[in-house]
């Protein structure tokens, strides 16, 4: 065929394609309506998933009330602001610093980003895809060919669309699983915030209790040293036996050992607090000098009598529920993948041909193919995947029930510890005051020569033991309030689940 006739033929073909394109564009509103209705209809056919509030059912029973006694007289209404109501501003600042420096929170925030990206991808799979393409080429063939010797330029540009019809809900189930995992990761970020705050506060309380015990150990060591000096002088004067002086010296050395060990424990706690909060140790030691040995006093709060209400306030329980939902959606998706898959494709574009100084432009479009993929023989892989997904779902439900039991145990344990500490406090105060008075009397009697060194040392040990026990009881009580705060979810609610890592630190 002559080159000019070839060009005329291509031009005629381009005109016919343009007329077809006009016809297609005329039908675009109808096609758009059909695609929209189809998408809405297929989206409605998503796989069913469990409710997001499953605790209290047959699979995970919850008691109607607590077995441990509940604290009374609390005045805190908003538990999320509980830390600000402590009488220790330094502890509040360290909690905020710990949350900013926590690798656990950083990892939880990263998991939110990953889950958000996975959700976007899963939602995109429900919608048609649209890709743009462009190309340009130049062709020239020498004598003996059918194409002209002069170069011909060809330029193309177009759009290509594709869509998988989600007839059996596989793609929708994947989107449901991705959404559940996103919300679960957000809830676990809140859980991490509560845990970090409780860990920093518990370490701080242990440090303050250690400082208070250090004062007792220092007081005890000084008293033992003074007794050793007096006994040594009395032995030299002949008023005491040399054995008594040796015993007093040994007691003084033992007091020094106890003091050094106590200060080592306090140093270790400072280093632990420094690591948790990423603070400069020297600056932190300077700040800790203020209020040294004084335990922070928490504000008391009321615990609801209904365990189910408390469980609804825990982000980890909420996340565990969503894990069950995600596993159920995964199982539904694996089952749906065993059924046929239908995909649509189409394209529209424009072509420009340049030859010997002239050019022509035409439009092309295509609708199809409609591809039906039916798995026939895969060696049992799809069936095995469906069984594995269902097994994972059953495992997650067992984990969820166990998490409920652990949550109830944590609350009950904190309540029991708090009640026990409250009951022992009054008796411990009486014991500490009594042993302190007894030691004063024994010390006066020993100085007057009417009491033996054995009586003095026995009174001293009893006094120190009572003071240490009282300090430990105070630490136990404050730690029990912190554990109860953590067990109750730290004032979290499902309405805050979408709050992200950019919000202000927990107070």
Please report, for the chain, the start and end positions of each structural domain, with discontinuous segments joined by +. Answer: 45-53+67-126+166-340+375-496
H or E stretch covering 341? strand 341-355
Read off the tokens for 104.
């656990």
Output the tens digit of pLDDT for each of the chain's 507 residues. 433 333 333 333 333 334 443 433 343 333 333 333 333 333 333 333 444 345 544 455 677 778 788 887 566 656 777 888 888 899 999 999 998 898 988 888 898 888 888 888 888 777 787 788 888 887 765 555 555 556 777 788 888 888 778 788 888 888 899 999 999 888 889 899 999 999 999 999 999 999 999 999 998 898 888 888 888 888 888 877 888 888 889 989 999 999 999 999 999 999 999 999 999 999 999 999 988 889 998 888 878 777 888 888 889 999 999 999 999 999 998 898 888 888 888 788 888 877 666 778 878 777 767 787 778 787 888 889 899 999 999 999 999 999 999 999 999 999 999 899 988 988 999 999 999 999 899 888 888 878 877 788 888 888 988 999 999 999 999 999 999 999 988 888 777 777 767 554 444
Distance separating alpha carbons of residues 186 and 112, to the nearest angstrom: 6
Distance separating alpha carbons of residues 134 and 159, to the nearest angstrom: 9
138 Cβ contact list (under 8 Å, min separation 6): 151, 152, 153, 154
Residues 62 and 55: beta-carbon distance below 8 Å: yes
Distance separating alpha carbons of residues 208 and 339, to the nearest angstrom: 65
Rg (CA), the chain: 39
Distance separating alpha carbons of residues 387 and 338, to the nearest angstrom: 12
Cα–Cα nearest to 206, from 268, 119, 123 = 268
pLDDT score of 287 = 92
pLDDT score of 369 = 77
153 Cβ contact list (under 8 Å, min separation 6): 136, 137, 138, 352, 353, 354, 355, 359
Indicate the CATH number of 45-53+67-126+166-340+375-496 among 1.20.1600.10, 3.30.930.10, 3.40.640.10, 1.10.510.10: 1.20.1600.10
Distance separating alpha carbons of residues 507 and 505, to the nearest angstrom: 6
Distance separating alpha carbons of residues 275 and 500, to the nearest angstrom: 25
DSSP alpha helix (H) spans, 449-506: 453-487
Residues 135 and 155: beta-carbon distance below 8 Å: yes
- CA 278 → CA 109, 275, 282, 501, distances in Å? 19, 5, 12, 19
pLDDT score of 399 = 92
Cα–Cα nearest to 60, from 420, 378, 400 = 400
Distance separating alpha carbons of residues 125 and 131, to the nearest angstrom: 14
pLDDT score of 500 = 63
pLDDT score of 497 = 76
Enter the pTM of the model: 0.75
SS (H, E, C) 89-149: HHHHHHHHHHHHHCHHHHHHHHHHHHHHHHHHHHHHCCCCEEEEEEEEEEECCCCCCCCCC
pLDDT score of 52 = 39
Read off the tokens for 246.
């040796």
What 3-state DSSP class applies to 498?
Answer: coil
pLDDT score of 38 = 34
| Dihedrals phi, psi of 200, to nearest 5 degrees | -65, -45
């Amino acid at each position: 065929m002559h080159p000019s006739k070839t060009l005329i033929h291509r031009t005629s073909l381009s005109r016919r394609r343009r007329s077809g394109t006009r016809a297609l564009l005329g039908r675009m509103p109808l096609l758009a309506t059909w695609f929209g209705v189809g998408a809405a209809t297929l989206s409605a056919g998503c796989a069913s998933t469990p409710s997001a509030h499953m605790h209290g059912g047959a699979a995970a029973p919850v008691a109607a009330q607590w077995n441990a006694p509940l604290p009374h007289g609390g005045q805190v209404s908003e538990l999320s602001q509980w830390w600000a109501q402590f009488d220790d501003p330094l502890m509040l600042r360290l909690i905020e610093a710990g949350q900013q420096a926590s690798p656990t929170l950083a990892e939880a925030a990263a998991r939110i980003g990953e889950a958000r990206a996975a959700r976007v991808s899963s939602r995109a799979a429900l919608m048609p895809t649209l890709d743009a393409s462009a190309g340009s080429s130049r062709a020239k063939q020498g004598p003996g060919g059918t194409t002209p010797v002069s170069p011909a330029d060809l330029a193309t540009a177009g759009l290509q669309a594709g869509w998988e019809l989600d007839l059996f809900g596989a793609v929708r189930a994947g989107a449901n699983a991705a959404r559940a995992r996103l919300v679960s990761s957000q809830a676990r970020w809140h859980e991490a915030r509560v845990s970090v705050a409780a860990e920093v506060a518990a370490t701080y309380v242990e440090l303050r209790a250690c400082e208070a015990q250090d004062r007792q150990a220092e007081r005890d060591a000084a008293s033992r040293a003074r007794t050793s000096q007096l006994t040594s002088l009395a032995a030299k004067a002949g008023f005491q036996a040399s054995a008594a002086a040796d015993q007093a010296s040994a007691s003084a050395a033992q007091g020094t050992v106890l003091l050094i060990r106590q200060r080592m424990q306090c140093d270790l706690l400072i280093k632990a607090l420094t690591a948790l909060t990423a603070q400069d140790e020297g600056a932190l030691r300077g700040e800790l000098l203020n209020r040294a040995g004084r335990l922070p006093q928490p504000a008391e709060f009321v615990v609801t009598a209904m365990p189910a209400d408390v469980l609804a306030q825990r982000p980890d329980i909420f996340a565990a529920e969503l894990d069950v939902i995600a596993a159920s959606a995964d199982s539904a998706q694996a089952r749906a993948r065993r059924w046929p898959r239908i995909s649509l494709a189409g394209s529209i574009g424009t072509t420009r041909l340049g030859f010997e100084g002239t050019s022509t432009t035409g439009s092309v479009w295509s609708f199809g193919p409609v591809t039906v993929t039916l798995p026939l023989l895969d060696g049992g892989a799809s069936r095995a995947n469906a069984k594995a997904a269902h097994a994972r779902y059953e495992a997650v439900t067992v984990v969820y029930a166990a998490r409920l039991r652990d949550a109830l145990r944590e609350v009950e344990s904190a309540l029991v510890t708090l009640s026990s500490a409250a009951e022992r406090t009054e008796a411990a105060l009486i014991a500490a005051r009594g042993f302190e008075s007894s030691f004063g009397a024994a010390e006066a009697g020993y100085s007057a020569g009417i009491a033996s060194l054995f009586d003095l040392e026995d009174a001293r040990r009893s006094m120190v033991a009572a003071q240490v026990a009282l300090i430990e009881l105070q630490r136990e009580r404050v730690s029990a309030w912190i554990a109860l705060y953590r067990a109750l979810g730290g004032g979290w609610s499902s309405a805050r689940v979408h709050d992200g890592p950019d919000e202000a630190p927990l107070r």
